[in-house]
Structures are given as C-alpha cells and as structure tokens.
Amino acid sequence: MFAVSDFSDMTFAERKAIVTGGASGIGKATALRLAELGADVVVSDIDEPGGAHVAEQIGGRFAMLDVGDPEAWDRVVAAFGPFDMAFLNAGIATNPGLPPAPGVPIADLTDEAYRRIMGVNVDGVVYGTRAVLAGMTDQGAGDIVVTASMAGLGPIAMDPVYGLTKHAVVGFVRSMAAALDQLPDGPDVCISAICPGFTDTNIIGDGAREFVAELGLEIMPADRVAQVVARTIAERPQGGQWVIWPGTEPRLYEWNPPIEV
C-alpha cells in the first residue's frame, strides 16, 4: 500500500474540481483530499444538507445536482465551471442492503429501479463527462476520474445490474481515452477509472458487513480510495483502471489499443 508521504509534493493549487456524490463515502473523502492538496472543490450531491456540510468543512462550495439530469449539469457548469478536474463518483445499487435477495436474479427488478440505477451510474457519467469536457477543451487540458468498481471487471452475482453499469463505465472510459488519443491537436484531457473492492459507503447497507466478512473480504475505508483518486489525477494514465484492494498496492491496468482489422 502506498502512503500519503509518498506524494508529499503533490499539489492541485489553482485547480478547480467538481466531485459528485460528495456528501458521503468516497466522494466526501475525495473532496477532503483534493481540498487538502489545494484544489478549489465544488461538492455536488442530491443530499443538500450532507453535501453543504462537506463543502463548509473544506472551504468549498456546494451544488445541488441530480447527475442523471442533463439540464442540471448545464446549470451547475454554468454557475461553477469551468472545471480542471472532475470526479464522477455518484452511484447506487439495486440492492444496497446486501446480501442478495433469494430467488432468480432480477426477477423482481422493477422498471423504476432499473431506470434509476442506469440514470445515476451510466447517464450520470456520460452527462457529466459531456458537461465538463467543453470547458476542459476550451482551457486545453483537464482530468476526469470515474468511479467504477471491481464489479466492472468481473461478475457480481449479488447485483447483476450494478455489474452491468460498472462494466459500461469501464468501457466508456477506455473508449473515451482511445477517442481522445486520436486527436493529436486536441485538448490534453485525461480520463481514467478507479475500481475499488468493498468500500465503506452508503451502498454498504445493514447486514452487508457480516455478509462481506463471510466471504472472507474486507471493507476498505473511503480515504484509502481517495488517495488513489488523487494519484491518478497526478499520474494521468489515459484510459487506465486502478484496481484497489485491501492490503495491496493499487494496480493499474492500461486500456488496450483498438484491434486492427
């Protein structure tokens, strides 16, 4: 595991960041970390009291934002942007309580629950990238980090639709990176993803800790993931996916170049 001291010279002074899902969990921890490193942080969330509290705590600003609403993105970017850094972190699960409900997977999944998770986990990343990319293009540079999951790199039987959304996020990040690399005269924008294992967030609901322990796994503190977010912004691995697992050094996987046919 790398230590904070390994990056003691890291600074994001004079850079402006937006963090989605910033009221709690990984978003909160990352907002705190970026602010510690000198960034001007805009904390966004649908949880207004929680998000506003984090913003006050770090001397930043709060923006009410439903990430699945493209018009809301336009309003936030117009009011607070342009941004040098964007951490697109907001996410939900179809079964936040864990362990998985008995029965055939997704048999009881409602249309409303399906549309909601797709709106937050997938639409929120696409709309967010589109919204911040315009300003980054005008400025000539920027960094976008997206919260995926280990569920975006392998199967997750307990919540197949959550796995679907995180696979989509990983594919989007890799494809966006390839597209950006095909623009030699374009903006210096880097996009990458973090893929943590079980982390102490609101997605880990009641009963989840015992379930995870029965699997022989650990639940990581959110600030462990926040350190990797800061690291990927500093190191800028275009299209990379950081695998974050308890007790091990974070591992970076690069995107593969397009297959020639």
Q: What is the CATH number of the domain that holds 103?
A: 3.40.50.720
Instruction: Name the DSSP letter for residue 123.
Output: I
User: How many domains does the structure of the chain reveal?
Assistant: 1
Distances (CA, A) of 255 to 117, 170, 214, 241, 259: 25, 10, 33, 8, 12
Q: Note whether residue 257 is domain-resident.
A: no
Is residue 239 within 8 A of residue 247, CB to CB? The reply is no
What pLDDT does residue 7 have? 52
Which residues have a catalytic role annotated?
162
What's the rounded Cα separation, in Å, for the pair 135 and 202?
31
More confident site: 164 or 261: 164
pLDDT bucket at 258, cuts 50 / 70 / 90: low
Q: Indicate the range of 30-39, 45-54, 242-251 predicted with least confidence.
A: 242-251
pLDDT tens for each residue of 192-233: 999 998 776 766 655 555 566 566 567 788 999 999 999 999
Task: Say whether pLDDT at 103 is over 80.
Answer: no
Assigned domain for 201 exists: yes
pLDDT at site 261? 42
Residue 88 lies in a domain: yes
pTM of the predicted protein model: 0.89
Preceding amide of 257 cis, omega within 30:
no
250 domain-assigned: no
The residue segments making up the domain with residue 140 are: 4-243
pLDDT of residue 136: 97
CA angle 60-244-19, nearest 5°? Answer: 20
Strand-pairing partners, residue 244, are 196
The two tokens of residue 48 are 């207004």
